[in-house]
């Protein structure tokens, strides 16, 4: 927030769903900070200013570290839609939850991968990011839940520390089997591909809910 325009930083506080997500993970011998934006305005106001960042200071730990490399990957919405309309979808999708993931339902935290909460979160985040499409629809959500199921998982709970509390989330992998029409399968894949940028669930702008989509071949 210190690196971006003050007015835009104030504007972000007014959003119920932020147009960016971020998370930090260890990859082999490196620490990687992923910062993802889901519309052009956020890209210009967050990603571009951070291109100049050379050092990161973690004040509470009194640690300063150098930025040793950076890369930018851009996925246009048109590319997502082209994939939706033109590429058939594997009926087995593997989701990896890279950082603690949780949802909030009826005022309580939910720290397991309920597909209704996963899909609903992604639909809301997509709708908030898109100027043209409203992806959230209760009837569609019901169809997605009815025609897909988690058939395999490897998960564990993990706490995510905030300033005054810790939220328990889950990390690990789930394999989703999709039934129903090809359009439905493509729709779920579109949501999950978008989720790689938006994150899923709560506190994605603070490091929770990072997810990646992988293909999985059917066994047996």
110-129 tens-digit pLDDT: 999 999 999 999 999 999 88
**Model's pTM, two decimal places?**
0.90
Ordered domains of the chain (ranges, CATH): 6-66 (no CATH), 77-215 (3.30.70.1900)
Residue at token pair 């989701």: 95
Highest mean pLDDT pick, 13-17, 28-32, 99-103: 99-103
Q: How confident is the model at residue 220 (pLDDT cuts 50, 70, 90)?
A: very low
Is the per-residue pLDDT at 88 higher than 90?
no
pLDDT of residue 214: 85
Percentage of the residues of the chain whose pLDDT score is greater than 70: 96
| Residue 58 pLDDT greater than 80, yes or no | yes
Instruction: Please give the C-alpha separations between residue 67 and each of 55, 58, 61, 103, in angstroms, as whole numbers.
Output: 6, 13, 17, 32
pLDDT for res 2: 83
Instruction: Provide the pLDDT for residue 217.
Output: 47
Other Cβ atoms closer than 10 A to 35: 15
CB 129 within 8 A of CB 41: no
């Amino acid at each position: 927030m210190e690196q971006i325009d003050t007015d835009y930083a104030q504007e972000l506080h007014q959003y119920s769903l932020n147009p960016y997500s971020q998370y930090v993970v260890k990859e082999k011998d490196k620490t990687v900070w992923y910062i993802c934006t889901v519309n052009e305005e956020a890209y210009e106001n967050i990603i571009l200013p951070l291109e100049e960042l050379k050092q990161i200071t973690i004040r509470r730990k009194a640690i300063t570290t150098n930025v040793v490399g950076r890369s930018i990957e851009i996925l246009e919405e048109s590319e997502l839609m082209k994939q939706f309309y033109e590429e058939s979808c594997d009926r087995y999708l593997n989701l990896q939850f890279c950082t603690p993931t949780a949802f909030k339902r009826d005022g309580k935290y939910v720290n397991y991968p309920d597909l209704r909460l996963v899909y609903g979160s992604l639909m809301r985040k997509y709708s908030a990011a898109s100027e043209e499409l409203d992806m959230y629809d209760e009837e569609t959500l019901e169809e997605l839940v009815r025609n897909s199921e988690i058939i395999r998982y490897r998960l564990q709970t993990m706490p995510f520390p905030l300033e005054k509390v810790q939220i328990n989330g889950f990390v690990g992998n789930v394999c989703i089997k999709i039934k129903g029409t090809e359009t439905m399968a493509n729709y779920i894949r579109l949501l999950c591909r978008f989720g790689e940028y938006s994150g899923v669930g709560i506190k994605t702008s603070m490091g929770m809910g990072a997810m990646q989509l992988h293909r999985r071949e059917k066994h047996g």
